Amino acid sequence: MLMLNKTNWTPASFILNGVPGLEDMHLWISFPFCSMYAVAMVGNCGLLYLIHLEDSLHRPMYYFLAMLSLTDIVMCSSTIPKALSIFWCHLKEIGFDECLVQMFFVHTFTGMESGVLMLMALDRYVAICYPLRYSTILTNPVIAKVGLATFLRGVFLIIPFTFLTKRLPYCRGNIIPHTYCDHMSVAKLSCGNIKVNVIYGLMVALLIGGFDILCITVSYTMILRAVVSLSSADARQKAFSTCTAHICAIVFSYSPAFFSFFSHRFGSHTIPPSCHIIVANIYLLLPPTMNPIVYGVKTKQIRDCVIRIFSGSKDIKSHSI
Domain membership of residue 75 (yes or no) is yes
Mean pLDDT of 19-30: 88
Q: Which has more pLDDT, 316 or 246?
A: 246
The number of folded domains in the chain is: 1
- In three-state form (DSSP H/G/I as H, E/B as E, the rest C), the secondary structure along the chain is CHHHHHHHHCCCEEEECCCCCCHHHHHHHHHHHHHHHHHHHHHHHHHHHHHHHCHHHCCHHHHHHHHHHHHHHHHHHCCHHHHHHHHHHCCCEEEHHHHHHHHHHHHHHHHHHHHHHHHHHHHHHHHHHCHHHHHHHCCHHHHHHHHHHHHHHHHHHHHHHHHHHHCCCECCCCEECCCCCCHHHHHCCECCCCHHHHHHHHHHHHHHHHHHHHHHHHHHHHHHHHHHCCCCHHHHHHHHHCCHHHHHHHHHHHHHHHHHHHHHHHCCCCCCHHHHHHHHHHHHHHHHHHHHHHHHHHCHHHHHHHHHHHCCCCCCCCCCC
- 134 part of a folded domain: yes
In a domain, 209, yes or no: yes
Stretch 251-262: mean pLDDT = 83
> What range does the domain containing 52 cover?
16-303
Residue 182 domain-assigned (yes or no): yes
**pLDDT for residue 41 is more than 70:** yes
Residue 268 has a pLDDT of 58
Q: Is 252 domain-assigned?
A: yes
8-22, 108-122, 169-183, 264-278: which is most confident: 108-122
pLDDT at 319 over 50: no
Over residues 289-311, the mean pLDDT reads 86
Q: What is the pLDDT of residue 20?
A: 86
Look at 6-20, 25-39, 136-150 and tell me which has the smallest mean pLDDT. Answer: 6-20
Please give the share of the chain, as a percent, with pLDDT higher than 70: 92
The answer as to whether 140 is a domain residue is yes
Residue 70 included in any domain? yes
pTM above 0.85, yes or no: yes
CATH number at residue 177: 1.20.1070.10
Asked if residue 179 lies in contact with residue 103, where contact means CB atoms within 8 angstroms, the answer is no
> Residue 6: inside a domain, yes or no?
no
